[in-house]
Structure 1
Amino acid sequence: MSRLYVVVDDVKDWSPYYPSQDVISFDDYLSLPATGERVRVVNLCRSYRYLGTGYYCSLLAEARGHHVIPAIKTLSDLGRKSLSSIQWEGVQPALAAMKKAAEGEQRTLRCWFGEALADEQAALAKSVFAHFPCPILEISLVYRGRWRLDKLQAVSPRSLKTADEQEAFANSFERFSRKLWRKPPARKSFRYDLAILVDPEEDMAPSDGVALRKFIRAAEKLGICAELITKRDYPRLAEYDGLFIRETTAVNRQSYRFAKRAEAEGLVVIDDSQSILRCTNKIYLADLLRSKRLAVPATEFLRRARSGELQRLVDTLGLPMVLKIPDGAFSKGVVKVDTLEELRSESERLLDKSALLLAQEFMYTDYDWRIGVLDGKALYACRYYMVRKHWQIYRHGKRSQSGGFDAVPLDEVPKAVLDAALKACKLIGNSFYGVDLKQKGDRVVVIEVNDNPSVDAGVEDKLLGDELYRAVMAVFLQRMEKRGRQT
């Protein structure tokens, strides 16, 4: 069971609001004995300046392994980060939506837990809170052709002077503590909290609903409280001990931002931001695999066609050949060209999307191997078959199609396939990967290493059943326990 503390310099600072046993003074927080329970801290001390009581409250909370808002990183960013660097990171659209004003006009507003008093300020408050999760923020604006952030400061509840502000803060805090820092209902006590990031709107998500429920049940059996979150829960990340990404990853997607933020908060993250960076760009991955002398299809990089460049590719790779944009997923952005003319037209089309393309020899097989690798060890193996009368596992159109599959016991997978998969993963990291390989006779080549691999009920778990989900959650447990020992 987790415990919530609201820390203030003096309990009298809480006098405008309903009394609560969760409200304690900074001195009382200093003298708290160490316990094994999970602790959430809302730091409402008077001063968050460097070496002030608010600073030390957050510092000690993190040293004790408590989840605290605001985190030390947030206070540091508020003190050091140039506001000009965040003008365009989601804040600018909110500023642009505000009514125009006279040149040089200044305005100061306060927001609490991502909410504000005026409806016009709501979007700005939410966006600023997403960047700087802090109980109360004072935002100073200046109009220079458009509204701009001039100053951003964390302040205490003592700065709220009017009854309207105090009432709005109290209502917002009640919602925040109930929804975000809530105590679990009367049920089994959990040792850790795990967020599973999903995108409900995604058509081809890495896990279906049944698989997600199996992950949650497996976590519960290991003492982990797992729950699904979405992009709206970005400000909540500090609440958790771990983040499991189950939506499609890319450096320009929210999944990467979530991974970076979670790592900054000290969470255990699968898949981590480095794995996302290394796996989701096929140019980087192909160059890495080639430089480390792993067997891959014959590969060339293609820029804007120089004279004779396309013919050189044909002479080197032959026809047909495969063109790939660097950040495609689920066979999207991958085309097969059979003639020089097709190569010319498709390369022109794809080069409008990316400055570099990957060109590879075409190597047809009835199926691709997929080896699931977790924490440096092979976890499962599948054969994914090509769509009937098609050369890929997926065929996209008005209605996407996928081929069949076989789940294969690891001891029946050719040793060359397993060895190549494990070697490839060792170059990436020690997270959760799906390695795609082709085997033709004695030749085995690595096609790509996928972070955040697909796990759907009845497919990847066909042989392992619930053990697959337990294995993933066991790695989270092991890493969260290790992190706890280090704090």
Structure 2
Amino acid sequence: MNEMTWVILTGRQSDLDQVATPHKIITNRDYLAHPALFRGQRPKVINLSSNYAYQSRGYYASLLASSRGHKVIPTVETMIDLSEHKLYEHALPELEQALNKCRKELGGSFPAKVTFFFGIGPSRDWDRFAKLLFDWFRAPALEVSIRDNRQWASIHKIGFYSLTRMSSEEKPRFLESLAAYTNREWRDTKTRTPARYAFATLVNPNEELPPSEISSLRHWAKIAEKMGVEVEPITKKDLAKLANYDALFIRETTSISNHTYRFARRAQQEGMPVIDDPLSMIRCTNKVYLNELMSYNKVPVPPTVMIAGPSDLEVAAQTLGFPLVLKIPDSSFSRGVKKASNFEELKTLATLWLEDSDLLIAQKFIPTDYDWRIGVLGGQPLFAVHYLMAKKHWQIVNHERSGKPDQGGIRTFTLKDAPTHVVETAVSAARCIGDGLYGVDLKETADGVFVIEVNDNPNLDHGWEDSGEKDEVWVRLTQWFLDRLERQGR
């Protein structure tokens, strides 16, 4: 890994005194005009332009930084996010909650305007809010306008705050925050082994059914190390540290509504290769979307009926017969997937589930002793296994037993030994979703092969899914990230 270089861009030479910081200061005009300036280095760029408006010089500096493989704050995405209130209002509920939790420390009231530099507020009392604000919007300097009625403080506006607007009291605080920010990351990087790249792996040590066990990730780390990559575990507390890494592999169960999605979005904004990427999460999470997508692309799926209300239950019963399978559109690990043996059961279950979801899916029940699970990475098959049904149950995971969920076993194959038509169908299904890592579940029957679902965040454990292809699975996973980093010239 190259020696860390920090580069600070300003609008004009006079905006920041060269002696104010040990880091290199150049104007955004010079940075734009000399693409070869930092060739062979991987500098971190702090863009302090006084204007970040769309297509301004400040905007282009961040845009071209990312194309040159330089890490930059703020990114173009952050500039766009903060350009209009409606583009950042989704962040306000969480931010306002954190803001109001600071009330007591701040003596009961809030100023009308507050400035934050690199996730640091005017005093320690703002810490909780300042960190979260920086998590959402990584920018060197932000100004937040607050409306406070003594019961509840709401955020009226979040905007960039330029060097040229800073008062003589604010400038020293800004420079201190800049020093703290660059030192913190500097130290983190200095303690690393001299690997070419550092990959973050998002884990939750307390998860009951994680997609990869910690021991499997350690196994991957050993293989990645030989390829010049250091793998480090991070947890949901580490969002602000994510930019220190080159790539992200999410290994806790993903959901659009929790921090895993925010990590994926942040990684994408930082220009990092990520598994799973936000779009794959959105696509795979929703079974309604998957079913339409597969049908449109002529990938075989079981006969299916959408249920939007009570009138569709008759259609489902007549079209599919009983037993049939009813699914909530966004469920994982066999949860929210139940079998209905007759019309009464279907009606009871559908009525209950339609309270929480506007749409349900009913599918023809296809009994098999196992599901094929084909792992697909970057549009190519990665592994092939049978997931056996849980004992005396029609699914791979039985959540109805008391105590821990009961999982069926696994039977492993090399890709050469897996039936070609099964593997090809799985690859076609995964390619409809994207270019990442997917686990495709298929049923093999006398009537042909059917795709049951495509999972983002598929299970990948040493001694299980990698049994057929051995370490080649982990080598190819590492290479997937490396190919994308090399392509970006990182």
TM over 0.5: yes
Residue 62 (structure 1) shift: 3.3
Q: In 2, distance between residues paired with 1:455 and 1:363? A: 26
Distance verdict in 2 for CA 1:47–1:167, change over 3 Å = closer
CA deviation digits over 1:181-212, x for unaligned, max 9?
A: 54634665333333322333432221110122
Select the residue among 419, 425, 434 that pairs with 2:439. Answer: 434
Q: In 2, distance between residues paired with 1:331 and 1:99? A: 43
Q: In 2, distance between residues paired with 1:395 and 1:118? A: 51
Mean Cα deviation higher: 440-449 or 231-240: 231-240
Q: In 2, distance between residues paired with 1:399 and 1:123? A: 36
Distance verdict in 2 for CA 1:446–1:61, change over 3 Å = closer
Structure 1 residue aligned with 2:341: 338
Could you tell me which amino acid in structure 1 is paired with residue 25 of structure 2?
S
Select the residue among 349, 364, 387 that pairs with 1:384. Answer: 387
Distance verdict in 2 for CA 1:333–1:387, change over 3 Å = same
Structure 2 residue aligned with 1:370: 373
Mean Cα deviation higher: 120-129 or 26-35: 26-35
Is 1:136–1:157's contact at 8 Å kept on the other side of the alignment? Answer: no
Structure 1 residue aligned with 2:254: 249
Structure 2 residue aligned with 1:5: 6
Structure 2 residue aligned with 1:359: 362
Q: In 1, distance between residues paired with 2:217 and 2:245? A: 18
CA deviation digits over 1:225-247, x for unaligned, max 9?
A: 33223333333444433222222
Distance verdict in 2 for CA 1:53–1:374, change over 3 Å = closer
Is 2:415–2:469's contact at 8 Å kept on the other side of the alignment? Answer: no
Could you tell me which amino acid in structure 2 is paired with residue 374 of structure 1?
L
Select the residue among 76, 94, 97 that pairs with 1:93. Answer: 97
Is 2:96–2:155's contact at 8 Å kept on the other side of the alignment? Answer: no
2:42 pairs with 1:35: no
Distance verdict in 2 for CA 1:269–1:413, change over 3 Å = same
Distance verdict in 2 for CA 1:75–1:463, change over 3 Å = same
Structure 2 residue aligned with 1:72: 76
Q: In 2, distance between residues paired with 1:174 and 1:12? A: 14
Structure 2 residue aligned with 1:473: 478
Please give the residue correspondences for 1:28-427 in structure 2 after superposition, counting only pairs within 5 Å: 30=31, 33-43=37-47, 45=48, 47-50=50-53, 58=62, 61-82=65-86, 85-86=89-90, 88-97=92-101, 99=103, 107-143=112-148, 146-151=152-157, 152-156=159-163, 159=166, 161-162=168-169, 166=172, 170=176, 173=178, 176-182=181-187, 184-185=189-190, 188-306=193-311, 309-396=312-399, 397-427=402-432
CA deviation digits over 1:292-347, x for unaligned, max 9?
A: 333222211112212xx434422322221111111111101111122222212111
Could you tell me which amino acid in structure 1 is paired with residue 130 of structure 2?
A
Residue 372 (structure 1) shift: 0.7
Could you tell me which amino acid in structure 2 is paired with residue 269 of structure 1?
V
Could you tell me which amino acid in structure 2 is paired with residue 471 of structure 1?
R
Distance verdict in 2 for CA 1:260–1:46, change over 3 Å = closer
**Which ranges of structure 2 fall in alignment gaps of 5 or more residues?**
none
Distance verdict in 2 for CA 1:482–1:296, change over 3 Å = same
Distance verdict in 2 for CA 1:464–1:185, change over 3 Å = farther
C-alpha RMSD of the superposition: 3.2
Residue 434 (structure 1) shift: 0.8
Distance verdict in 2 for CA 1:40–1:142, change over 3 Å = same
Residue 435 (structure 1) shift: 0.7
Residue 81 (structure 1) shift: 4.5
Is 1:369–1:381's contact at 8 Å kept on the other side of the alignment? Answer: yes
Mean Cα deviation higher: 251-260 or 318-327: 251-260
Residue 90 (structure 1) shift: 1.6
Distance verdict in 2 for CA 1:442–1:65, change over 3 Å = same
CA deviation digits over 1:249-289, x for unaligned, max 9?
A: 23333323332333233222222222222211011111222
Is 1:42–1:70's contact at 8 Å kept on the other side of the alignment? Answer: yes
Q: In 1, distance between residues paired with 2:429 and 2:242? A: 31
Could you tell me which amino acid in structure 1 is paired with residue 264 of structure 2?
A
Select the residue among 459, 463, 478 that pairs with 1:458. Answer: 463
CA deviation digits over 1:136-194, x for unaligned, max 9?
A: 3232223367423334233449936449x946963x55553354454634665333333
Mean Cα deviation higher: 193-202 or 291-300: 193-202
Structure 1 residue aligned with 2:24: 24
Is 2:301–2:451's contact at 8 Å kept on the other side of the alignment? Answer: yes
Could you tell me which amino acid in structure 2 is paired with residue 375 of structure 1?
G
Distance verdict in 2 for CA 1:46–1:159, change over 3 Å = farther
Is 1:366–1:386's contact at 8 Å kept on the other side of the alignment? Answer: yes
Residue 439 (structure 1) shift: 1.4
Mean Cα deviation higher: 459-468 or 365-374: 459-468
Could you tell me which amino acid in structure 1 is paired with residue 427 of structure 2?
L
Distance verdict in 2 for CA 1:27–1:358, change over 3 Å = closer
2:449 pairs with 1:444: yes
Is 1:294–1:446's contact at 8 Å kept on the other side of the alignment? Answer: yes
Q: In 2, distance between residues paired with 1:49 and 1:437? A: 49
Q: In 1, distance between residues paired with 2:63 and 2:313? A: 59
Q: In 2, distance between residues paired with 1:27 and 1:94? A: 36
Could you tell me which amino acid in structure 2 is paired with residue 415 of structure 1?
T
Is 1:214–1:466's contact at 8 Å kept on the other side of the alignment? Answer: no
Q: In 1, distance between residues paired with 2:261 and 2:344? A: 37
Mean Cα deviation higher: 288-297 or 330-339: 288-297
Q: In 2, distance between residues paired with 1:277 and 1:46? A: 35
CA deviation digits over 1:116-152, x for unaligned, max 9?
A: 2345423322222122212232322233674233342
Residue 27 (structure 1) shift: 5.6
What TM-score does the superposition give when structure 2 sets the normalisation length?
Answer: 0.86
Residue 441 (structure 1) shift: 3.3
Is 1:4–1:183's contact at 8 Å kept on the other side of the alignment? Answer: no
Distance verdict in 2 for CA 1:210–1:173, change over 3 Å = farther
Residue 449 (structure 1) shift: 0.9
Q: In 2, distance between residues paired with 1:12 and 1:294? A: 59
**Which ranges of structure 1 fall in alignment gaps of 5 or more residues?**
none
Mean Cα deviation higher: 338-347 or 445-454: 338-347
Mean Cα deviation higher: 154-163 or 293-302: 154-163
Residue 26 (structure 1) shift: 1.5
Is the partner of 1:116 in helix, strand or coil? coil
